[in-house]
Amino acid sequence: MPRIASIKSIRAQIAALEAKAKKIETAHKPGVAQVLALMKKYKLKVADLSSAPKSTKKVTKASATKKTKKRSIKKAAVKYRDDNGNTWTGRGLAPKWLKAAEKAGQKRDTFLV
């Protein structure tokens, strides 16, 4: 017959394993232990941390100019237009309206703006 452990011994094992798990979790995150120690030292709560200023980093004139500038994308000027108001910049594949007109015998130069 297998021996059945008492509830007290099982609860003691659970407590020991939880303590061991907590120790392992803090060992993988060494900063957590330091933060907890500082929180205990200064009697801080998690709510106090959420009301802290978002950034303590000082912005200097040099670091402010190092920010990446957004490139302005210039739209290409229209080079071709037909009587119906269809336009094409001359970049990429020719549009269907221009291909159809060329198939009909018109030259591309007749649509230049």
pLDDT in tens, 42-68: 998 888 877 766 666 666 665 555 666
CB 94 within 8 Å of CB 88 = yes
- Please report the pLDDT score of residue 60 as a whole number: 64
The amino acid sitting at 18 is: E
- Please report the pLDDT score of residue 1 as a whole number: 41
CB 98 within 8 Å of CB 106 = no
- Please report the pLDDT score of residue 65 as a whole number: 59
- Please report the pLDDT score of residue 37 as a whole number: 85
In this prediction, the residues of the chain whose per-residue pLDDT falls under 50 are 1
- Rounded to two decimals, what is the model's pTM? 0.37
Burial class (CB in 10 A: 0-12, 13-18, 19+), 79: middle
Q: How far apart are CA 36 and CA 48, in angstroms?
A: 13
Residues in the chain: 113
Q: How far apart are CA 22 and CA 12, in angstroms?
A: 15
